[in-house]
């Protein structure tokens, strides 16, 4: 029954996770996988819903991966509402929740790190040195541990999703990557675990990100194709809130993450900005008919 707690299995050890997945697979289940860092919200739950559409067993991981945080980032204060997460995951219909601790994932000296190539050098890669190497390393480990048929990722982290698609392709992993749309608050703010850091003023100002992207989408819809013009329009919207520190705002080809000169419908407007201590990212496909 939707909304009713099911019997979700919670495991913390890699060996137990493997055994649980093996049992599901032996029972004929197709396995979908939703990797997260927890502090779950409706965006995460939409990925679970997407996974359940195509699988009989959905595995979710919750792991705040230290490798992907820079020394001055929010690793220590990243929210970890364990009980609320368990309840939400269970009610959403997650079958197996994998919640390892850091020593289970990184038990000793590590020799091998997955390194992002050119696709990861700009934007998030430039603003957060080492971030994507940390993401790709933990995702490679999680994919090897869970060995799902497919993984569901959110478009919210578009450059990350492109890199994970490249990881699977370049390392010949037998896993399909499914991208799911961004889930937003009613007013347009992209849902994020980091939104809970925002005070009231910051929350109001945070709307400027989706407004700037919405403006680019509207201009594209009205026929504008010059990427510099689209970028300038988005920046003007962002500039209306001087308290926002913009890390980047650009129109990119989502297959290369190179800055575009002429925008095409599947190209993306991408933005990262800081409000006080909180850093937010968002993006929009410029040719989409969605509201943002």
With CB atoms as reference, the residue minimizing the distance to ligand AMP is 154
Q: How many residues does the chain have?
A: 292
Out of 183, 213, 230, 237, point to the residue binding ligand AMP (CB under 6 A): 183
Note whether 36 and 44 are within 8 A (CB).
Answer: yes
- The string of DSSP letters for 225-263 reads -BHHHHHHHHHHHHHT-TTEEEEEEEEEETTTTEEPSB-
Q: Does residue number 182 form part of the binding site for ligand AMP (CB under 6 A)?
A: yes
Q: With respect to ligand AMP, which residue has the nearer C-beta, 238 or 281?
A: 281
Partners of 244 in beta bridges: 275
**How many residues interact with ligand AMP (rule CB under 6 A)?**
17
Q: Does residue number 67 form part of the binding site for ligand AMP (CB under 6 A)?
A: no
- Chain-centre distance for alpha carbon 206: 18
Q: Which of 118, 120, 144 is nearest to 131 (CA)?
A: 120
Burial 118-148 (b: 16+ CB within 10 A, else e): ebbebbbbeebebbbbbbbbbbbbbbebbbb
Q: With respect to ligand AMP, which residue has the nearer C-beta, 10 or 233?
A: 10
What character string, x for contact with ligand AMP (CB under 6 A) and - otherwise, covers 187-226? ---xxxx---------------------------------
Set 44, 131, 262, 266: catalytic member: 44
Q: Which of 252, 190, 258, 185 is nearest to 216 (CA)?
A: 252
Q: With respect to ligand AMP, which residue has the nearer C-beta, 194 or 205?
A: 194
Catalytic residue list contains 41: no
Q: How does DSSP classify residue 6? A: -
Q: With respect to ligand AMP, which residue has the nearer C-beta, 131 or 227?
A: 131
Binding residues for ligand AMP restricted to 85-114, rule: CB under 6 A = none
What character string, x for contact with ligand AMP (CB under 6 A) and - otherwise, covers 150-179? ---xx-xx----------------------
Coarse DSSP helix, strand, coil percentages of the chain, rounded to the nearest 5 percent: 40, 20, 35
The nearest distance, CB 184 to ligand AMP, in angstroms, is: 7
Binding residues for ligand AMP restricted to 33-52, rule: CB under 6 A = 36-37, 43-44, 46-47
**Residues forming the site for ligand AMP (CB under 6 A):** 36-37, 43-44, 46-47, 153-154, 156-157, 180, 182-183, 190-193
- Would you name the residues annotated as active-site residues? 44
């Amino acid at each position: 029954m939707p909304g009713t707690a099911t019997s979700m299995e919670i495991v913390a050890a890699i060996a137990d996770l493997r055994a649980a997945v093996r049992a599901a697979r032996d029972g004929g289940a197709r396995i979908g996988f939703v990797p997260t860092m927890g502090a779950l919200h409706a965006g995460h739950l939409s990925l679970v819903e997407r996974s359940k559409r195509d699988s009989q067993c959905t595995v979710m991981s919750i792991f705040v991966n230290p490798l992907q945080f820079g020394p001055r980032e929010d690793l220590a204060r990243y929210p970890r509402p364990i009980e609320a997460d368990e309840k939400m995951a269970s009610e959403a219909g997650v079958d197996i929740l994998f919640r390892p601790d850091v020593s289970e994932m990184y038990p000793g000296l590590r020799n091998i790190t997955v390194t992002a190539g050119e696709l990861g050098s700009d934007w998030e890669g430039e603003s957060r040195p080492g971030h994507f190497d940390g993401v790709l390393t933990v995702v490679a480990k999680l994919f090897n541990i869970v060995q799902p048929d497919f993984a569901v990722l959110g478009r919210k982290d578009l450059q990350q999703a492109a890199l994970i698609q490249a990881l699977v392709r370049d390392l010949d992993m037998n896993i399909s990557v499914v991208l799911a749309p961004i889930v937003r608050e009613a007013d347009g703010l992209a849902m994020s675990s980091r939104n809970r850091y925002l005070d009231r003023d910051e929350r109001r100002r945070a709307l400027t990100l989706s407004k700037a992207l919405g403006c680019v989408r509207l201009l594209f819809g009205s026929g504008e194709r010059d990427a510099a013009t689209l970028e300038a329009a988005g920046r003007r919207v962002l500039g209306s809130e001087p308290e926002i520190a913009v890390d980047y705002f650009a129109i990119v080809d989502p297959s290369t993450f190179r800055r575009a000169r002429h925008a095409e419908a599947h190209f993306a407007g991408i933005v990262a900005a800081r409000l006080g201590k909180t850093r937010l990212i968002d993006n929009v496909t410029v040719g989409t008919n969605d509201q943002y």
